[in-house]
Chain A
Amino acid sequence: MSVATKPPAQNSLAHNQLPRYTTQLVLVASAAAGAGVSALWGGFSIVSFAVLSVLIFVIVNTVLSAVVEGRRKAVDKLVTSLVYTAFGLALVPLISVIWSVLDNGTARFSMDFLTTSMRNVTGLNDQEALEGAAPFIGGAYHAILGTFLITALATLISVPIGLLTSIYLVEYGRGRLARSITFFVDVMTGIPSIVAGLFAAALFAVLFGVGTRNGFAGAVALSVLMIPVVVRSSEEMLRIVPNELREAAYALGVPKWRTIVKVVVPTAISGIASGVTLAIARVVGETAPLIVTAGFTSSINTNPFSDWMMSLPAYVYSQALRPLSGSSPQPSFDRAWAAALTLILIVMLLNLVARLIARLFAPKTGR
């Protein structure tokens, strides 16, 4: 988008211009000045160096431009530096989150962590592990299993409902019903996750008695969050299926439902599948609804229809906020980070799979 500015011939209509390398020059100079001031002013640190350099650069660059080029150019340069700074600032939390998860998470991330549960692991074990008297034990196998089961159940509930609804909206929907479904899917997108959890908790309290917690209740809560995402993404994918394909099928005398099942959905399947995968990636990290529906446990539970079930996000939460041993919480924190690393790996893997599905199974356009 840069506007090519050739040095204009000197005339009364042209303003003075700084040479094009001025910005780079000022940048280098202010980095040097920033380092100098930071070192003089209570010891060098990356943070004060970065802040001071940016500050010096913005001021010098703007003032220089204001003096030589005039106010308008100066404002332009000021905004340009602010915009670049904003982007740089946004990278700070991203890099810091990923770095701290990798840094802290790898300490306890091992096959042992992935294949053992927390059953019979107590604060005493943690204290001994910290003193070096006993090996570090306790893992997240039960939580990974729980997350897998709950998410699979939620997917089983949401995908048929979501896909059929999007088919209804695209292929059949007319009038009031379709409009109100579209509207309420929008409303559903905005339900806070904790409210979805409360709904499932209230539903199971009414049906099976107060205080009922199990994996299935968690799956119901996640479905409430997942259905609108599936509907939205599948609807978008079905809408871009060319009408010619449908008309060709009708012209051959294919019934409408077979046209949808054999022509429309297969054409859009790559987009639908990647949308579903992204929806799974979104709910797999949901914590709040599972805390109020599936509960916490330290043992392996393979039956989502009875008893409390641990999930990976709930595991992170409980290890971070309620360490096993109050006096030596570090092993619990380590477990929380390792579980966070596992969770991020799962989410990233799902995102990658979604990309791959979208690319590999995309319909051949033949053009």
Chain B
Amino acid sequence: MTTTKPPPTEPPAVAPRAKARPGDRIFSRSAQLAGILILVILAGVAAFLVREALPTFTADPSEIDGGEGFFSYVWPLVFGTLAAAIIALVVATPLALGIALFISHYAPRRLAQGLGYVVDLLAAIPSVVFGLWGIQWLAPQVQPAWTWLADNLGFIPIFTGPASATGRTMMTAGVVLAVMILPIITAIAREVFLQTPTLHEEAALALGATRWEMIRMAVIPFGRPGIISGIMLGLGRALGETMAVAMVLSTGGFTWSMVTAGNSTIAAEIALDFPDSSGLKTNTLIAAGLVLFAITLAVNMFARWIVSRRSEFSGAN
């Protein structure tokens, strides 16, 4: 931390007192105020959302969308949100770990940093562009794959046919989300892989381990908390991501099948319905937003908790 006390001079007879300068006072107060303002903003986010959401809970259940109260309205959305995020994680996690290992341990040293930038480039592309790409390019491309899944693995509930002819399904939305969270997981995994103590790696290699055995025994155990927190942060992003799902998915009622049109996520429902909503519907959507906020908050807190635990037990020092 910073040393802010002026260096001690020769001990005077009377202890010197720092001159109270108005400039100092004003500056430190305004800095503090800005900090407090952030807390106020966050409290405001919670307060206004709760305030606007409240009518949903006090209203007659029959007036809510669907006619059976808020919870029967929101659970299919929560299901859709989780389903899309899980598909994204299943697709993105192995890829991201592979890429991170490639950049940290496989790629030629000279290229590694440049390749890292290339993957970071994915993170710079706005989500609406991914949405546009997903609906106009990806959906037609992957549609045959979903048809194949529905035809051959249709006995599994999530692949029940008939597959959507447009390809605008939960699976496609999940794949787009996977592309979007790929750079997040990759960046964090790459960082922790690069932090593996070189001595551990060299020790493993000196004992005759192949490169994969070295990675399995030295790099992965060291990086495990980082990997988990990267996955959790990716999950947090996938849960809250709006545009990719709102644009790609052809939304509808609840269905187990991931290869047909149907289902929706909280974020997509808000984006699609909020602009034209009025009255109680607005309150219902804000309440749904509150649920989303709570879910992502829990996921992100868990991720941070793992990271903070890591710094205590890493043994890297």
State the A residues within 8 Å of B (CB).
Answer: 1-3, 72-73, 75-76, 79-80, 82-87, 89-91, 93-94, 96-97, 100-101, 104, 160-165, 167-173, 177-178, 180-181, 184-196, 198-199, 201-203, 205-206, 210-211, 224, 227, 231, 243, 246-247, 250-251, 255-258, 260-261, 281, 284-288, 291-292, 295-296, 313, 316-317, 320-321, 333, 336-337, 340, 343-344, 347-348, 351
Contact = CB atoms under 8 A, between A and B. Distances in A.
A172 B51 contact: no
B125 to A, nearest CB: 6
A171 B31 contact: yes
Interface stretch (B64-72, B130-138, B255-263): B130-138
Nearest to A101: B129
Contacts of B223: none
Interface in B207-238: 210-213, 215, 233, 236
Interface of B: 2-4, 6-7, 21, 23-24, 26-28, 30-39, 41-42, 44-45, 48-49, 51-52, 94-95, 97-99, 101-103, 105-107, 109, 115, 118-119, 121-122, 124-133, 135-138, 179, 182, 186, 205, 210-213, 215, 233, 236, 239-243, 246-247, 267, 270-271, 274-275, 278, 282, 285-286, 289, 292-293, 296-297, 299-301, 304
B102 A317 contact: no
A117 to B, nearest CB: 19
Contact of A347 (B31, B102, B119, B125): B125
Contact of B49 (A73, A97, A186, A202): A202
B108 to A, nearest CB: 9
A323 to B, nearest CB: 12
B34 to A, nearest CB: 3
A203 B41 CA distance: 11
Main secondary structure of the interface of A (DSSP, over half): helix
B3 A165 contact: no
Contacts of B42: 184, 187-188
The 10 closest A-B pairs by CB, nearest first: A285-B126, A192-B240, A86-B98, A164-B34, A190-B300, A257-B27, A288-B242, A168-B31, A76-B210, A202-B48
A3 B271 CA distance: 53
Contact of B205 (A3, A198, A288): A3
A161 B267 contact: no
A287 B127 contact: yes
6 contacts: A184-B38, A255-B23, A292-B270, A313-B243, A317-B246, A343-B126
A246 B35 contact: no
Given A93-B179, A160-B34, A192 B133 contact: no
A296 B275 contact: yes
Contact of A317 (B33, B131, B282): B131
A205 B285 CA distance: 14
Contacts of A251: 6-7
Given A76-B212, A167-B31, A195-B292, A291 B133 contact: no
Given A93-B122, A343-B129, 16 more contacts: A72-B213, A75-B212, A76-B212, A85-B98, A87-B103, A90-B95, A192-B240, A194-B242, A198-B274, A202-B52, A206-B52, A295-B275, A316-B131, A320-B135, A343-B126, A347-B125
Contact of A161 (B38, B115, B205, B212): B38
A208 B108 CA distance: 59
Contacts of A193: 240, 242
Given A91-B118, A210-B282, A231-B38, A317 B247 contact: yes
A339 B196 CA distance: 43
Given A75-B210, A198-B289, A203 B48 contact: yes
Nearest to A99: B137
B282 to A, nearest CB: 7
Contacts of A79: 211-212, 215
B124 A347 contact: yes
A2 B304 CA distance: 34
B166 to A, nearest CB: 13
A16 to B, nearest CB: 15
Contacts of A257: 21, 23-24, 26-28
B136 A320 contact: yes
A286 B34 CA distance: 24
A77 B299 CA distance: 36
A320 B296 contact: no
B129 A316 contact: yes
Nearest to A47: B141
Contact of A337 (B51, B132, B274): B132
A235 to B, nearest CB: 11
B45 A250 contact: no
Given A76-B211, A194-B270, A316 B95 contact: no
Contacts of B32: 168, 172, 177
Given A86-B98, A181-B38, A199 B48 contact: yes
B292 A192 contact: yes
Given A87-B102, A206-B48, A97 B129 contact: yes
